[in-house]
Amino acid sequence: MTRERVLWNAIWRSAALGAIVGAGSVGGSVLFNSMAYSVYSSKLALLVNILLYSIFGGAMGLGLGFFNGLVAGALTNAFRKLSKRGLLYRITIAIATTVFTLVLTLAVVRMISPSWKEVSVVILALDIAMGLAGQLFAHWYLRESRKIAQKK
């Protein structure tokens, strides 16, 4: 399996999941906060705000997923022998992608918003999603490696 194929699969799987979860978690957070505090006087303003925040969340998740995929792909390419041991490889990918995502998300969100009240759920959702994306990639990689080994 080529390094390019490994990297491409890691990036697109993480980016797609990040965009979906980012849009959903940010949009849901805005909806919950607006309904809880009755901030908006009209439903149109609420819908426009949810749409714009969902686009922002999707973009944030897409970028985060891209970098998460780079980390997962780079680890896989750098440590090919580690990837032969399924459980150790999965644990390594899970810890590395989750910690990387948490640090990056906290840094970006802290630059955007000085208040932590609105973003804690979003950070948690994106962090869990990127850990899941790393696991999905690890599962794909191990399955493809076994297929290649069986053909030989």
**28-71 residue pLDDT tens:** 766 666 665 666 667 777 777 777 877 877 888 888 888 888 88
What pLDDT, on the 0 to 100 scale, is given for residue 148?
A: 83
Record the tokens describing residue 55, joined without a space: 């686009």
**Closest to 103 measured CA to CA, from 121, 77, 126, 69:** 126
**Domain map of the chain by residue range?**
3-147
What pLDDT, on the 0 to 100 scale, is given for residue 39?
A: 62
Q: What is the dihedral of CA 84, 2, 71, 111, to 10 degrees?
A: -160
Below-50 pLDDT ranges, the chain: none
